[in-house]
């Protein structure tokens, strides 16, 4: 069993930075580049040299530090082939279904467009870890800035298919606000009620609610639950097409 060490740290107001490290091949990647000084502090703390950047999407709070870090570390930048022109300094272009070999670790690439077009996620099956940027959040999903509800639902279905014990490292600490919305659309969900208590306790101590797991999200995240009879009933959409239920859920969150 190979190892993949993850170091997580807060960046900007509510982003997370992640460093992933393969101790055998001695490679270290930043998952996105929200804040250069925070990333450099994290590298120093761990005693790691930055060899790679794995970008999920083009937004400045995810790719804004690319060029400065590349200049400093001569690292290799990996990003979406479908959005290569918006990923600063991109060296290696990857696409849905491809495997990117990071040290001893294989990363499967998923296109999870919707928040942006050309948004990708990196799944490390041997380590049971998913880095999904702003596609899926704890109890939420990314706003649809560029894609359609149908496209986002298709993207999220790829993530739902992963094993329940997969750790999900998302790009932001939005969980408490997401929890309030989730309770408003599926108040009957007892697992959700329990989870919100746990989230409130963590946040009261300023602790992260990330990573989450695929199993936890499937049980409690309304954006993964358009098939829930309670959710459908609460939206007055019993029996409706799942894309329509997802779209209505997203629409309500945008106005929550």
Binds 222, which of Zn ion, Fe ion, none (CB < 5 to 8 A, cut-off by type)?
none
Tell me if residue 251 is catalytic: no
Q: Which stretch binds Fe ion (CB under 5 A): 4-12, 22-30, 39-47, 131-139?
A: 131-139
CA distances from 35 to 59, 90, 111 (A): 12, 18, 24
| Site membership for Fe ion, residue 61 (CB under 5 A) | yes
Out of 59, 83, 111, 119, the active site residue is 59
Distance in angstroms (rounded) separating the CA atoms of residues 213 and 225 = 15
- Interaction residues for Fe ion, span 154-213 (CB under 5 A): 171
In sequence order, the 6+-apart residues with CB closer than 8 A to the CB of 202 are 208, 209
| Burial 85-103, CB ≥16 within 10 A → b, else e | ebbbbbeeebebeeebebb
Smallest distance, Å, CB 81 to Zn ion?
A: 19
| Site membership for Zn ion, residue 58 (CB under 5 A) | no
Distance in angstroms (rounded) separating the CA atoms of residues 127 and 106 = 9
Interaction mask 94-133, Zn ion, x per CB under 5 A: ----------------------------------------
CA distances from 70 to 57, 108, 171 (A): 17, 23, 21
8 Å CB contact between 46 and 24: no
Smallest distance, Å, CB 137 to Zn ion?
A: 11
Q: Which stretch binds Zn ion (CB under 5 A): 56-64, 161-169, 196-204, 218-226?
A: 56-64
Nearer to Zn ion, 124 or 174 (CB): 174
Tell me how many residues contact Fe ion (CB under 5 A). Answer: 3
- Interaction residues for Zn ion, span 131-170 (CB under 5 A): 134
| Both tokens assigned to 160 | 């739902």
Tell me if residue 119 is catalytic: no
Tell me if residue 7 is catalytic: no
Q: Mapping DSSP to helix (H, G, I), strand (E, B) and coil, where does residue 135 land?
A: coil
| Both tokens assigned to 86 | 């918006």
Nearer to Zn ion, 118 or 149 (CB): 118
Smallest distance, Å, CB 39 to Fe ion?
A: 15
Tell me how many residues contact Zn ion (CB under 5 A). Answer: 2
| Site membership for Zn ion, residue 59 (CB under 5 A) | yes
Tell me if residue 57 is catalytic: yes
Tell me if residue 22 is catalytic: no
Biggest alpha carbon distance in the chain? 55
8 Å CB contact between 216 and 200: no
DSSP 202-220: HHHTT----SEEHHHHHHH
Active site residues: 57, 59, 61-62, 115, 134, 172
Q: By the criterion CB under 5 A, which residues form the site for Zn ion?
A: 59, 134
Q: By the criterion CB under 5 A, which residues form the site for Fe ion?
A: 61, 134, 171
């Amino acid at each position: 069993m190979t190892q993949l060490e993850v170091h997580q740290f807060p960046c900007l107001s509510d982003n997370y930075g992640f460093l992933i490290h393969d101790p055998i091949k001695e490679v270290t990647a930043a998952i996105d580049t929200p804040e250069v000084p925070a990333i450099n502090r994290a590298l120093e703390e761990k005693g790691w040299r930055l060899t790679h950047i794995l970008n999920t999407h083009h937004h400045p709070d995810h790719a804004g530090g690319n060029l400065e870090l590349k200049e400093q570390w001569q690292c290799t930048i990996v990003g979406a082939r479908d959005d290569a022109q918006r990923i600063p300094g991109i060296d290696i272009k990857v696409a849905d279904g491809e495997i990117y070999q990071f040290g001893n670790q294989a990363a499967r690439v998923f296109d999870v467009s919707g928040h942006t077009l050309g948004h990708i996620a990196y799944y490390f099956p041997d380590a049971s870890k998913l880095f999904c940027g702003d596609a899926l959040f704890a109890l939420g999903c990314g706003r649809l800035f560029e894609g359609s509800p149908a496209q986002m639902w298709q993207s999220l279905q790829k993530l739902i298919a992963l094993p329940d014990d997969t750790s999900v490292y998302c790009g932001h600490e939005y969980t408490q606000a997401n929890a309030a919305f989730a309770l408003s659309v599926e108040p009957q969900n007892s697992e959700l009620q329990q989870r919100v208590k746990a989230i409130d306790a963590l946040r009261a101590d300023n602790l992260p609610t990330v990573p989450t797991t695929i199993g936890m999200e499937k049980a409690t995240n309304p954006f993964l639950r358009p098939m829930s009879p309670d959710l459908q009933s609460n939206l007055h959409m019993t029996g409706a097409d799942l894309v329509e239920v997802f779209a209505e859920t997203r629409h309500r969150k945008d106005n929550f």
